[in-house]
Structure 1
């Protein structure tokens, strides 16, 4: 039994598409990436934001969870993970400092 996700038709039909990332969750997370952005690191931030929007839409459609609630949960998880990796103390990205 395969757990692979299908390539969406709108992507498969576009000859200019680029796959930039795959993520697997097992005992440890494994990520493979291909850097198509070069030194433009802020583009990865846009990819992360786009992924967050897709997650929020999925949760809204499947479980009627408001997108704002999902964004808050994603931000909290992101801050916690970054704090663990870098011993940082983050304040909310959504509040003015």
Structure 2
């Protein structure tokens, strides 16, 4: 296994919470999701995860720009296109708990 280190920006925050873990294994995406954190605080859980997905896209765009000089706006557009296409026509089944 090749886990990533937590970001150093979370150090010192006693409320830091891991929300999502993704692994590529056995030729598929394996996911552990911390569902319920927002609902238990009185927030719309689905809306919160939509914001997380958008923030994640921005982090990916920034990382690709830093590493490969990819324009962030183009990366966001590609992300949006593939995200919506995958929601419309799933390329793989989602299983698990």
Relative to the length of structure 1, the TM-score reads 0.79
How much does 1:43 deviate?
Answer: 0.6
Tell whether 2:74 aligns with 1:73.
no
Distance 1:24 1:77 in 2: 19
Structure 1 residues 14-33: Cα deviation after superposition (integer angstroms, max 9, x where no partner)? 11111111011231111111
Q: Secondary structure at the match of 1:16?
A: coil
Which of structure 1's runs of 4+ aligned residues deviate more than 6 A? none
Residue 3 of structure 2 corresponds to residue 4 of structure 1: yes
- Aligned to 2:4, the other structure's residue is in SS state coil
Aligned to 1:34: 34
Partner of residue 93, structure 2: none
State the 1:59 CA deviation. 0.5
Show structure 1 runs of 5+ residues with no match: 86-97
Aligned residue for 2:52?
47
Q: What is the 5 A alignment of 1:74-89?
A: 74-85=79-90
- Provide the alpha-carbon RMSD of the alignment: 1.3
Unaligned stretches of 5+ residues in structure 2: 91-97
TM (norm. structure 2) is 0.79
